[in-house]
Amino acid sequence: MVKRSKGIMVKTRNILRKRPRDRGMPPITKYVKDFDIGEKANIVIEPSSQKGQPHRRYQGHVGTVVDKRGRAFVVRVQMDKSYKDLIIRPEHLKKIR
């Protein structure tokens, strides 16, 4: 018997699926988005770029931008009673209007 792998992308077939018209790389404007500190952002994972990608359990969560580190942003997400600080690149974040 072979031991089952438990990587970070396990069980993501439906979560990280794109519609047929959206397949391929996103436009360059998705990579250069800027967020202000204290701004709310929705975590929407972009499956075509794996760098700076959060864990799949945070897909669809809303967080607050706390800091900027290089190209990425530190996003604080509330999980039950505690808070998690995630380092996420801008292509995986969406502004809330």
- Domain assignment present for 13: no
Three-class secondary structure of residue 48 per DSSP: coil
- Domain assignment present for 39: yes
Q: Compute the distance between CA of residue 20 and CA of residue 43 in angstroms, rounded to an integer.
A: 21
Edge-to-edge strand ranges of the sheet holding 40-43: 82-88, 72-79, 62-69, 40-43, 93-95
- Domain assignment present for 2: no
Q: What is the CATH number of the domain that holds 58?
A: 2.30.30.70
> Does the reported pTM lie above 0.75?
yes
Contact 30, 52 (CB under 8 A): no
Pick from 30, 47, 36, 49: which is nearest to 90 by CA? 30
- pLDDT, tens only, 35-84: 999 999 999 999 999 999 999 999 999 999 999 999 999 999 999 999 99
pLDDT score at 34 = 96
Number of domains into which the chain is organized = 1
pLDDT score at 97 = 81
- 55: containing domain: 35-95
